Amino acid sequence: MGKPTGFMEITRKDAPAISPAERVGDWSEFGIRLPDSELQQQGARCMDCGIPFCQTGSTTGSGKALGCPVYNLIPEWNDLVYRGKWREALNRLHKTNNFPEFTGRVCPAPCEGSCVLGLIDKPVAIKSIEQAIIDKGFEEGWVVPQPPDRRTGRKIAVVGSGPAGLAAAAQLNKAGHWVTVYERADRIGGLLMYGIPNMKLEKGVVERRVKLLEAEGITFVTGTEVGKDLSADELRQNFDAIVLAGGATKPRDLPIEGREAEGVYFAMEYLHADTKSLLDSSHADGKFISAKDKHVIVIGGGDTGTDCVGTAMRHGCATVTQFEIMAKPPEDRAENNPWPEWPGIYKLDYGQEEARAKFGDDPRQYEVMTKKFATDKKGRVKELHTVQIRWVIGEDGRMKPEEVEGSARVWKADIVLLAMGFTGPENPLLTAFGVEQDGRSNVRARYGDFSTNVEGVFAAGDMRRGQSLVVWAINEGRAVAEAVDKWVMR
Ligand code: FAD
């Protein structure tokens, strides 16, 4: 622990950002790194707690997250940063996390929710420090390919190149196995590439890591859908083990009157096309759904919805509104959401900040239920019909929505984006391998050994646990690699 009194003397300082009004003018990341001296001060706020809840990576009985899912050695690297030992800090960080440049940018930071200092003050700025360590590492040229010294001769196929597939590939390659990653999209990265928008995670950051992995000996094959372009049998014949890391991107639909209207899209149709067009041609090819001068309604108040808001803002939408079915969260932790659980409190994420800067208010409308899409004569969406709801306890003791009488409302809409979450993995890949699914339609494979009902076929990431977080995908990728290594070397 660098400075025993640091937490009493130094206040938290977050990394600054380009103002919301200015940053919507382009698609670049908008965070600004604090100077080294200030980051060192922030590291000094860490108390090196006897029990560092920040790095526990577990869940409570009620399923709430506690601490870092990849067990980052947070107090250790906070101390090293405080002492100016950035390179050692980077080595500590890479011990637990293959891709801190991703988590440092997009992780919601459950570590900070569990920071002991958070009990009496603002938590340590862990996420900003993590990003600074790795960004500095790249700038200084400390992050270089590290191919394994020897090869085992075993061959592993990884299906899907999101953070779970990439982490599994990185670890298996490190163990000396020959790894080939198959990806159906034209670029590697899964939702890091074609889900999370560029302003949150610049795609050059993803490509930089992929180049390193390639230089370490991993083979990447894009534009190949396993189960369609390449059969499951072929893969099983040519590889000693297979890791399925295809994600969970089957979108939840809203089958109400008018759903077939033109102008109603799934969020991922909007986000994927936008990033692809941005990367292919800086949007010059026009192969994206433009929200310019349009009235946009996003149904769904989560992260995907926020990314739709941020994207629509950059297109220059006329208005943007975001519907959330749940009640507005409290400003402070609720009694049933104590530290060190992830705090379910109200916050303005980047997209909402940007909408507020332009239109004057948080675009979210809470406890709104959409009843109907109304169309014009050409079948294009023109309005959304909603009611206000309230949450009440039903006869079975569970919360259920109840419509508020007289609350019907009509909203003007040219584009509607459905961002209501995901119901599980897409089936063709699973059918091709004959793997069993659980009650939530995810691949049935126990955490720890990750094996499916098909011998030699393993599953990890969202495909196994359901739509989650990048940091959990990295956790699962690392853990499945350990299980596969044991299996192929048995
Ligand atoms: P994915 O990232 O989904 O990757 C799966 C890959 O498998 C895809 O590239 C897919 O094309 C490929 N694939 C599927 N089937 C096949 C096949 N048959 N053959 C070949 N390839 C196949 N998490 C955060 O922590 N922070 C965020 O800010 C955040 N923002 C998000 C924003 C959006 C819009 C979305 C949708 C999710 C977000 N998440 C965020 C969640 C996070 O991105 C995912 O939990 C994570 O990417 C899951 O990783 P994965 O590797 O399991 O799967």
Phi, psi dihedrals of residue 246, rounded to the nearest 5° = -90, 5
Instruction: With respect to residue 144, please indicate whether it lies within any of the assigned structural domains.
Output: no
Which ligand 1 atom sits closest to the C-alpha of 271?
34
Residue type, 98: N
The per-residue pLDDT for range 310-322, each reduced to its tens digit, is 999 999 999 999 9
Is the domain of 93 the same as that of 131?
A: yes
Specify the pTM.
0.97
pLDDT at 59: 81
Is the domain of 222 the same as that of 269?
A: no
The domain boundary residue, chosen from 104, 139, 174: 139
Dig out the tokens for 263 from the structure. 């102008």
* Positive or negative: CA dihedral 313, 316, 319, 325: negative
Going from the first residue of the chain to its last (490 residues), give the mean pLDDT of each consecutive group of 10, the final group possibly shorter.
88 96 98 97 96 90 86 96 98 98 97 96 97 98 98 98 98 98 98 98 98 98 97 97 97 97 98 98 98 98 96 98 97 92 93 98 98 97 98 93 97 98 94 96 96 98 96 98 98
- Which residues are CB-contacts of 223 (< 8 A; sequence separation ≥ 6)? 183, 184, 185, 186, 229
Is the domain of 273 the same as that of 211?
A: no
In the chain, how many domains are there?
3
Instruction: With respect to residue 194, please indicate whether it lies within any of the assigned structural domains.
Output: yes
Helix (H) or strand (E) holding 251: strand 250-251
Instruction: With respect to residue 150, please indicate whether it lies within any of the assigned structural domains.
Output: no
Centre of ligand 1 from the C-alpha of residue 191, in Å? 4
Centre of ligand 1 from the C-alpha of residue 159, in Å? 12
Instruction: With respect to residue 147, please indicate whether it lies within any of the assigned structural domains.
Output: no
Which ligand 1 atom sits closest to the C-alpha of 472?
45
Is the domain of 206 the same as that of 304?
A: no
Is the domain of 403 the same as that of 261?
A: yes
Dig out the tokens for 477 from the structure. 């990728």
C-beta of 106 in contact with ligand 1 (< 6 A): yes
Instruction: With respect to residue 148, please indicate whether it lies within any of the assigned structural domains.
Output: no
Instruction: With respect to residue 295, please indicate whether it lies within any of the assigned structural domains.
Output: yes
Dig out the tokens for 64 from the structure. 């709430």
The per-residue pLDDT for range 201-254, each reduced to its tens digit, is 999 999 999 999 999 999 999 999 999 999 999 999 999 999 999 999 999 999
* Positive or negative: CA dihedral 345, 306, 130, 132: negative
d(Cα 129, Cα 135) in Å, to the nearest integer? 10
Instruction: With respect to residue 291, please indicate whether it lies within any of the assigned structural domains.
Output: yes
Residue type, 347: K
Is the domain of 211 the same as that of 342?
A: no
The CATH number for 297's domain is: 3.50.50.60
Is the domain of 263 the same as that of 221?
A: no
User: Tokens 């419509």 sit at which residue?
Assistant: 403
Domain extent at residue 58: 6-139
The CATH number for 124's domain is: 1.10.1060.10
CB 109 within 8 A of CB 97: no
Is the domain of 61 the same as that of 192?
A: no
The domain boundary residue, chosen from 139, 167, 199: 139
Tell me how far the alpha carbon of residue 289 is from its chain's centroid: 22
d(Cα 80, Cα 89) in Å, to the nearest integer? 5
DSSP state letter for 328: P
421-424 long-range contacts (CB < 8 A, ≥24 apart) are 421/251, 421/252, 421/300, 421/302, 421/304, 421/467, 422/248, 422/249, 422/250, 422/251, 422/252, 422/462, 422/466, 422/467, 423/248, 423/250, 423/251, 423/252, 424/248, 424/250, 424/466
Is the domain of 392 the same as that of 279?
A: yes
Is the domain of 231 the same as that of 341?
A: no
Is the domain of 216 the same as that of 257?
A: no
Centre of ligand 1 from the C-alpha of residue 83, in Å? 37
C-beta of 303 in contact with ligand 1 (< 6 A): yes
The domain boundary residue, chosen from 379, 395, 420: 420
C-beta of 249 in contact with ligand 1 (< 6 A): yes
* Positive or negative: CA dihedral 110, 115, 118, 119: positive
